[in-house]
Amino acid sequence: MDILSAHPIDPAVRERVMAELAAIETRHDVRVLFACESGSRGWGFASPDSDYDVRFLYVHRLDWYLRVEPQRDVIEVPISDELDVAGWELRKALQLLRRSNPTLLEWLDSPVIYRQDDAAVARLRALSEGFFSERKGRWHYLMMARKNFRGYLQGDTVRLKKYLYVLRPLLAARWIDAGRGRPPMRFAELVEAMVGEVALCEEINRLLAIKMAAGEAEHGPRFPLIHAFIERELATEQAPQDFNRPEGDDAALDRLLFDMVTAP
């Protein structure tokens, strides 16, 4: 069955995002290579009052990389109204890519792109395939699910959005177990591929309808089928014995950094 999904980006907010990215480039003397939506608006289940979680990658001029002392490699803009903007410097991002960082891999798969350097991002996406670690990704998602389940879903009345913050990583782990590679960012795609029980899909759609119409802090009674599914999935999980290093091309990461830093 079709799972509810939407990626609402107010045109006025998009204009604000684009203006903020331009201001960041001027203020910090950097070049933004990529900017996307990373939170619930990217996952497809935003509430009316959800923030806009803008995440970006940027590169400095050459002289920034030729200093003895390491410099700050993150840019964070104070949260303003519904806008949450933060970014990683490219070398930091490539180091994280080398370690198969699931957050960065999700950014590259976001259905909502604000800006991108087409050539640079195409190379990043191609490199990401070689650096994806199934074991590391799977364990990351399971720990995320377990943390949210224990922290927010133990009472008879629960914070409803937290069901989605448990379901999504559990289904991402299932996706990896099925040999499908990197999980997609969109929640609906995960559900449609990994949940075969019609009754469970219907209950997930009811949850989504509430989440997408109510506020972020909405509480309500447990969803019994969803709750039982989560408990079953978490009951059988064990930590992997090791995290095998991905087989990506380290030299290609160096070439990408060099090319972006020295680009005119």
pLDDT at 29: 98
pLDDT at 246: 73
| Whole-Å CA distances, 223 to 44, 157, 159 | 20, 10, 11
- Tens-digit pLDDT profile for residues 206-260: 999 999 998 888 899 999 999 999 999 998 766 666 666 677 999 999 999 999 9
pLDDT at 217: 83
pLDDT at 247: 78
30 bridge partner residues: 60
Residue 4, Cβ density class (10 Å: 0-12 exposed, 13-18 middle, ≥19 buried): middle
Nearest 5°: phi and psi at 246?
-60, 165
Which residue in 45, 51, 52 sits closest to 5, CA to CA?
A: 45
% of the chain residues with pLDDT over 90:
89
Query: 16 near 83, Cβ under 8 Å?
Result: yes
Domain 11-132+250-262 has CATH 1.25.40: no
pLDDT beneath 50: ranges in the chain: none
Pairing of strands 83-89, 52-60: parallel
Which token pair is 167?
Answer: 């379901």
pLDDT at 202: 98
Q: Which residue has the tokens 């030299």?
A: 251
pLDDT at 133: 92
- Give me the amino acid identity at 107: W
Q: Map out the domains of the chain as residue ranges.
A: 11-132+250-262, 134-235
Query: 13 near 83, Cβ under 8 Å?
Result: yes
pLDDT at 264: 85
Which residue in 251, 195, 192 sits closest to 225, CA to CA?
A: 195
pLDDT at 196: 96
Q: What is the rounded CA–CA span in Å between residue 199 and residue 209?
A: 15
- pTM, to two decimals: 0.94
